[in-house]
Amino acid sequence: ASASDENDVVVIGGGPGGYVAAIKAAQLGLKTTCIEKRGALGGTCLNVGCIPSKALLHSSHMYHEAMHSFASHGVKFSSVEVDLPAMMAQKDKAVSNLTRGIEGLFKKNKVTYVKGYGKFISPSEVSVDTIEGGNTVVKGKNIIIATGSDVKSLPGITIDEKRIVSSTGALALNEVPKKLVVIGAGYIGLEMGSVWARLGSEVTVVEFAADIVPSMDGEIRKQFQRSLEKQKMKFMLKTKVVGVDLSGDGVKLTLEPAAGGEKTILEADVVLVSAGRTPFTAGLGLDKIGVETDKMGRIPVNERFATNIPGVYAIGDVIPGPMLAHKAEEDGVACVEFLAGKHGHVDYDKVPGVVYTHPEVASVGKTEEQVKELGVEYRVGKFPFLANSRAKAIDDAEGIVKILAEKETDKILGVHIMAPNAGELIHEAAMATHDKPIHI
């Protein structure tokens, strides 16, 4: 791309939101350029998020099964061991194959790919400091901001990606820590905690709130926590980290009850900070062209993904809504469909979420707490996997299905599943979830 090339669409960011938007735009006949600073496509999800974490969750689960379940199924080994470099290499191979695959899709669909850091000069021009060291200006009738999110840091805790790691460092440790402390009991912390617990770490999760995964249905959450505790993960809820001492070999954390009180010390070899993610717009020059952000740093958009500045749109983790890859992708498709004069559509009541621990926990629609808050009359249907023959047959029967339906009409309001393959099962529930309950 050069200054003289005028695009119909310029996408800043090549993550699930941005690369999907770019490919879809090109398929709809729009001349499209995508700018990505990382040097690889796929964004957080492919490079340091969903994909590497799912790779390690699978590998560590296989090891755990071999250690703890195979013998009871009559499969015996003389010894089982972890080869961490091989496990990491398998993860890296999955990542690099997939990111190269997207580059192939860009070529096939004629999306121009500019590698570099984009910043707005005007609402229709982006200056890019390229990875090779040059600068180019990319022009577009429409510009889509798909710059995603970044790890949220905690005051007083500096991430060095060695002893104090973010999810990125936790995906690339070169030895199994004896003691791992996870700060923050969201799904990322619990998934990464599970990986290392299975590989032999003593894992303690410290959480400021009274509960793990705040967005989860309360009843499911309780069962989920018990399940993780059976897997030897320890939880310190209503607890805050008030000090970090790095003077020794490991890390000494000073903890205090969330409400204040007596301090205690918790030692760790590695500390994972997973206290959430924050929209990433650093260096983008939003203030220069007047794009508004809210107090959480997100870019508010209307139902067509338009920001307050004409011709500038935003999708994915950088706008309000669940920070999930499939949601970012759907935003991307709908946004460019609107730009191509078609009808984009995303039903935000039906965005499933999955925690890929074992068992997995998946949900779509409303939690029981949310249904209560709406004041709608509802009924609950529950069935334990302990009474499911297939689950019993494979000796993997921990979990439950919980369905919330409007009392009068039986319209499904929310489905929550804890089960080994909940992540697959939830799709069917998403299809069955009603568009709008009649009485809401």
Closest CA to 30 of 143, 145, 147: 143
> Residue from 23, 25, 45, 87 that binds ligand FAD (CB under 6 A)?
45
Identify the residue among 9, 16, 112, 233 touching ligand FAD (CB under 6 A): 16
169 binds ligand FAD (CB under 6 A): no
Is 330 a binding residue for ligand FAD by CB under 6 A? The answer is: no
- Quick check: bond before 52 cis, omega within 30? no
Tell me: does residue 44 bind ligand FAD (CB under 6 A).
yes
Residue 13 found at the interface with ligand FAD (CB under 6 A): yes
Q: Which of 99, 112, 149, 204 forms a contact with ligand FAD (CB under 6 A)?
A: 149
**Contact flag: residue 189 with ligand FAD (CB under 6 A):** no
Whose CA is closest to 117, among 101, 132, 106, 98?
132
Contact 1, 112 (CB under 8 A): yes
Alpha carbon distance 400, 227 (integer Å): 12
Residues between 351 and 370 that touch ligand FAD (CB under 6 A): 356
Which span (14-22, 176-184, 214-222, 244-252) binds ligand FAD, by CB under 6 A?
14-22
Q: Single out the segment in contact with ligand FAD by CB under 6 A; choices: 261-269, 278-286, 409-417, 425-433.
A: 278-286
The amino acid that residue 161 corresponds to is: E
Question: What is the nearest approach in angstroms of ligand FAD to the Cβ of residue 15?
Answer: 2
Provide DSSP, 54-113: HHHHHHHHHHHHHHHTGGGGT---S-----HHHHHHHHHHHHHHHHHHHHHHHHHHT-EE
Nearest to 277 by CA among 309, 324, 344: 324
Strand partners, 355: 361
Residue 403's Cα: distance from chain center in Å?
24
99 is in an annotated binding site: no
Sole window of 12-20, 154-162, 208-216, 365-373 interacting with ligand FAD (rule: CB under 6 A): 12-20
167: contact with ligand FAD by CB under 6 A? yes
Minimum distance, C-beta of residue 85 to ligand FAD, in the bound complex (Å) = 21
Q: Does 337 bind ligand FAD (CB under 6 A)?
A: no
CA distances from 193 to 49, 215, 284, 439 (A): 14, 19, 33, 41
Which residues inside 61-120 make contact with ligand FAD, applying CB under 6 A? 117-118
- Which amino acid makes up residue 328? A
Q: Binding site residues, as ranges?
A: 54, 118, 147-149, 184-191, 207, 276, 317, 323-326
Residue numbers of the site for ligand FAD (CB under 6 A)?
12-18, 35-38, 43-45, 49-50, 53, 117-118, 146-149, 167, 188, 280, 283-284, 316-317, 323-326, 328, 356
